[in-house]
Amino acid sequence: MDGGPLLVSASRQSGQTLDVLFTPADFGALARRDLSQTTCAVFDVLRATTSLLTALAAGAKAVIPAADIPEALVWKARLPHALLAGERDGRRILRHLTGTVDFDFGNSPREFTAERVVGRTLIATTTNGTRALRACVGARAVLAASLRNAAAVADWISANPSKECVLVCSGTYEDSSYEDVLGAGAVVDRLWDRLHGVEVLDGARMARLIYLAARSDLVGAMADHARNGRRLRSLPDLAPDLAVCASEDDLCFVGRLGPDGAIRIPDGECAVS
């Protein structure tokens, strides 16, 4: 799905740009912007977008991102056969938080196997990732992005030009997150030779430089330098998630948020490389 220049006939005068937003404060401001000519690619590398993309690759029909637990339960009431997925403080949501039910899944990509998700719709809520996806509602296109599909995201952006392209890092609570910057930087790097005439803003340049400095050992970089990575490394049952989330380009599709609020693989795209 290799495309041409990121933005066809782009020029600095036309205002066509590529940028990276680093913190939840940045993506929170998206709701006040006109995004009708903007493509947003959202990263929650550890682990929300990685997990939902893994679920789609395993055959899930769709993933509905919910901003919080009450909204997830409203969706569940509408779609009683859907499965609930999500975390708070990194752990699966249980009935002491919902008041009624345990969620079917936490937020580990290793949970979303074909045996458990094929043909099913998932309703997911996480601390930051699903909030970031919802903040982009109203954009021309909203994509779920990770290191696992960085090349596919770059190809989609290149083949579907927008006036603005914003790579959104979900962050951790209200802070920036190193691993999301790595994911955004990976996409910028894969676009780099196709950015003819595009104004690459400083955030995108910074993210690429951070990724290039770490790409020889992404697992080690996240385990040492990312707050979420250090936490996962300290938990024996979750530490293997690091290697899954650091895998690059083994999924050859984007997940696109539709007008019905569900993320799906666009028609014609493959599930796995």
Task: Give 217-255 pLDDT, tens digit per residue.
Answer: 999 999 999 999 999 999 999 999 999 999 999 999 999
- Asked if the model's pLDDT at residue 269 lies above 90, the reply is no
Per-residue pLDDT reduced to its tens digit, 120-172: 999 999 989 999 999 999 999 999 999 999 999 999 999 999 999 999 999 99
Q: What are phi and psi of 135, to 5 degrees?
A: -65, -20
- With CA atoms as reference, report the closest residue to 170 among 140, 131, 216, 141: 131
Of 7-16, 67-76, 181-190, 219-228, the poorest mean pLDDT is in: 7-16
SS3 state of residue 96: helix
Q: Where are the domains of the chain?
A: 17-46+138-261, 53-125
pLDDT at 268: 74
Is domain 17-46+138-261 annotated with CATH 3.90.1560.10? yes
Average confidence score pLDDT of the chain: 92
Say which residues have a Cβ less than 8 Å from residue 81's Cβ, sequence separation at least 6: 120, 121
**Spatial separation of the C-alpha atoms in residues 167 and 43, rounded to whole Å:** 8
Distance from C-alpha of 171 to C-alpha of 92, rounded to nearest angstrom: 19
Judged against a pLDDT cut of 60, whether residue 12 lies above it is answered with: no
Residue 209, φ and ψ in degrees, nearest 5: -65, -40
Cβ-Cβ contacts under 8 Å for 204 (sequence gap 6 or more):
18, 19, 20, 167, 184, 188
Confidence of residue 15 (pLDDT cuts 50, 70, 90): low
What 3-state class would DSSP assign to 142? strand
